[in-house]
Each structure stands twice: as structure tokens, then as C-alpha cells.
Copies of this chain bind each other. A is one copy, B any other.
Amino acid sequence: MAITARVDLNAEQVAALSLLVSGRISQNQSVLDAHGRDESAFPPVQPSAVVTVKSTEEVSKVLAYCNQEQIPVVAFGVGSSLEGHVLPLFGGISLDLSEMDQILAISPDDLTVKVQAGVKRMALNKKLSSEGLFFSVDPGADATIGGMASTGAAGTTTVRYGSMRENVLKLTAVLADGTILEVGRETRKLSAGYDLTRLIVGSEGTLAVITEITLRLFGIPEKMASAVSCFASLEDGVQAAIAIVRSGVAIARCEFLDAQSIRNVNSHDGISLQEAPTLLFEFHGSPRGVEEDAQLVQEITSEFGGTDFKWTTEEGERRKLWQARHNAYWAGIAAHPGKRGISTDAAVPLSKLAQAVAVSEKLLKESGFPFSILGHVADGNFHSFIITDPTKPEELEQIRELTHEMTSQIIAMGGTCTGEHGIGAGKIDSLVEEAGAASVAVMRAIKATLDPNGILNPGKIFS
């Protein structure tokens, strides 16, 4: 039986849940508010209660109870999702895992770390740096590792180090009925049965609640260098990025920002990049290696009319540049006081990237909404950042139509409606358009098998 209407807890249910978590349940308005929104532009929806858990065993007990009572459960970390993943669309409980924030075991010899789901990315990397190690997946936001695993997060370094799909080795996860699963293995290779780890990673809390994660780590490179190059047009920059990927040069990051994005970050971060379509690069390796990589990249960019190539191994400058890139989202909002930003997320095969960006730019210009375009071009993945006025809710519908048109054209050219943000509540129709009815039917069948009452994050991925 599926959840079809909003569920509000009765007093008996609140009392029963409270017993399971030593009283860590709240129906306080500000707590409900904080768990009813994320970074998306979807209207807030409050859960009926917020349950804070401290262990896998507590998650198991809470889920077993909610399954029996048919109470929806949405796992919550910090709410940095961009597609409404954490919104409790059908009420029920928001299961807050943010206090499960222990780093359980760092194993420098294995290049792995085991964490609880509520550990945040930046705190983890701060801890790891003293061991000369880092966790590579970098979506920009200071998300929890559990949230990143659930959405299959990726980011600026994915071109070199992979996304969560490649970097999660092992998971502890709890099924809807409270069954505790350990899937995967702390080995670098595994061929033992179905790949349940990668089924749960990216399933957006609809198949299981992730409570513990073992991640793959990398040694901090001996040397890191960054570089910048400007282009006359968006297309020139994109073509240069594609040529760099094809050349095989080992870029650790390769990001594209249009002139508007550069204006935004200049203003927000007090820097002075040339306000033109720009590629930012990062190289990781030996001192000679990064120099060689940067030289090769300079040669290729200049073939595509790239100008003002600057590179540096100076650490302060490198950090400032990448901090500015990471701030692009907030810089975009800051450039439009009182407004909200909506980030699209498309990925295409490399050969279609220039066309996809051009199509998106054309539709965005025609729409009249302020926008900027940026992205992880070496992966064929880019975002349009559209500014909307929250006092004009009718704009949301217009933007929905605009993004749907962009997405349909991306899908028609062999691309995907989401390279890294996930389906959430916003791209349910696009998933069917892209994957086809047969594939979505298989996904639904797996969902029905593992969560027959449909309590886990209802209204996400599927309608």
C-alpha cells in the first residue's frame, strides 16, 4: 500500500517514537520549519515531527515502528539538497541524522575512512588533512556524507577522482522494516553478488536510510596548481575543455563560468577576474608534473582563442580562486538581493556539450530571467542558475516550463536531466522521458520489493 495523503502523528505515535529515541522528538514550530525546506525553490512543507537519532539501532527501531504504523520517513542531514529531496511531502517524520557525526575510523594504510552519516564534508577533510589524506567528492555545499551518498553527489573534482558512486566502498543502511544491512566491503575491488552499495547510493532515501559509510580516500597531492583562461565565447571555452579531456592530460578540476558568473564572484569575493567566459583548472601531481600539465593546457586553450592564461602554484591564490568558484551559487543570489536562485543540472556526451550549452543559453535569453551558466565541463555536466523573485510565485511555473523545455532538448540529444543533483521531487517526469517506462517500472518494482508500504521518502523519484 502506498502513502497517498499527508500523515500527521497522533499523540500515541509521538509517545511511542519518543520512547524509542530517549525523548529526542520535537514538534516545535521552528524545528518543523527547519526540516521543511532545502536549497530548492519548492515551497516548504513541514513534517509532523522531527526525530533525532544517535545510532543505527535507533534508526532501525524508528523505521520498524513507522513501517508498522505507515508513517512516512524522510532522512535529513543539513538540507543542502537542490531538488526537494528532504521535503516531507506527505508529512510523517523528518529523521534527523545530523547528531550521528562521529568519524569512526581513519585507516591511512587502507586509504579509507568510516563515518556516521551526519558527518559533514568539510569537518571530515579538516580531520583527514593531518594524516595527509583527503576525501575527494566536493559538491560545493558543506553537505553531510549521508546526504551526499543518498543523492550520489559529485562535484568539481569528479573528473579526476569520481563521484560518490566510485568513492563509497561500504554502507550500513536500514531498510523500511528496520532490517540493518551492511553492503559492500572495505576492499578496492568487489565482485561478490549484486552491487547493493551502488543501488542504495543515489536512491535518495527511497530504498533505505544510510547510517554509516566507508569512503575511499586519496593522499593530498605533493603539488597543486591552478590556472585560468578567458575566451571570446561560451562555445570556444567549451570546445577547449573538450579538447583538453581528449588529450588525456590529468586535470583534477576543469570548470567553466560564463561572464555573468565571473561578475558575480568578483563582486562577492572581492577578486578581479576578467569578466569573460572563463575556464578554471586545477592540477594535482609532482612539481614537474603539474607544470607540464599546465603547459599542455595552455597550448590547447590558445588553439581555441584562449587568452590571459595565468597559472599559479601559490596556495593562497589557488584557494581563493576555488573558494570563489564554490561561492558562485551564493554570489549569484547576492547579486540579486531578495531573490532566489534555481540551479538546473544537465549532462550530455562531450560531443554535444557546446550544442547543449548554446541551446540552454538561447532559451534562457528568450525567457528574460536573469541567469548565469557554469559547470563541470570536462564531465559534460553544466548548470544554469536562474534568478527568481519569491514575491512573484507565478515565476516558478514559468521557470518550470523553461527548464522542462531545456531538459527535453538535452534528453533528445542523448543527455540526462541530472548529472549530480538527482531526481527528487522536481524531475520525476523527466526521469520517465529519459529512462523510458520499462526502466522506471523496474525501479518501481525494486522500490515496492524493499519498501512495500512506501514509507521511505514518498513523492521522490516516482510520482
Q: A residues touching B (Cβ–Cβ < 8 Å)?
A: 107-112, 151-152, 154, 158-159, 162-163, 165-166, 175, 179-183, 185-196, 198-199, 201-203, 207, 218-219, 221-222, 242, 245-248, 250, 285-286, 288-289, 292, 296, 345, 347-351, 376, 379-381, 414-423, 427, 430-431, 434-436, 438-440, 442-443, 445-446, 448-450, 461
- The residue in A158, A289, A349, A422 that gathers the most chain B C-beta atoms within 10 A of its C-beta is A349
CB-CB under 8 A for A188 and B242, given A194-B446, A196-B442, A199-B194: no
Q: Report whether A449 and B438 are in contact in the complex, using a CB–CB cutoff of 8 Å.
A: no
For the complex of A and B, the 5 pairs showing the least CB-CB separation, nearest first, are A109-B351, A189-B419, A110-B349, A198-B198, A219-B248
Interfacial chain B residues near A436, Cβ < 8 Å: 181-182
Q: Report whether B187 and A419 are in contact in the complex, using a CB–CB cutoff of 8 Å.
A: yes
Residue of B nearest to A352 (CB): B110
Partner pick for A202 among B194, B296, B419, CB 8 A cutoff: B194
Interfacial chain B residues near A196, Cβ < 8 Å: 439, 442-443
Q: Report whether B439 and A182 are in contact in the complex, using a CB–CB cutoff of 8 Å.
A: yes
Q: Report whether A350 and B110 are in contact in the complex, using a CB–CB cutoff of 8 Å.
A: yes
Q: List 23 A-B contacts (CB under 8 A).
A: A107-B351, A108-B246, A110-B350, A152-B191, A181-B436, A185-B416, A187-B347, A187-B415, A188-B350, A189-B376, A191-B202, A191-B420, A191-B422, A192-B430, A194-B199, A194-B202, A195-B199, A198-B198, A219-B248, A286-B296, A288-B288, A289-B292, A446-B446
Q: Report whether A183 and B348 are in contact in the complex, using a CB–CB cutoff of 8 Å.
A: no
Interfacial chain B residues near A203, Cβ < 8 Å: 194
A-B contacts besides A185-B434, A191-B420, A194-B443, 13 pairs, CB < 8 Å: A109-B351, A154-B191, A181-B438, A185-B415, A186-B414, A189-B381, A190-B347, A190-B416, A190-B418, A191-B421, A192-B423, A193-B423, A445-B449
Q: How far apart are the CA atoms of A186 and B435 in the complex, in Å?
A: 12
Partner pick for A189 among B110, B380, B431, B443, CB 8 A cutoff: B380
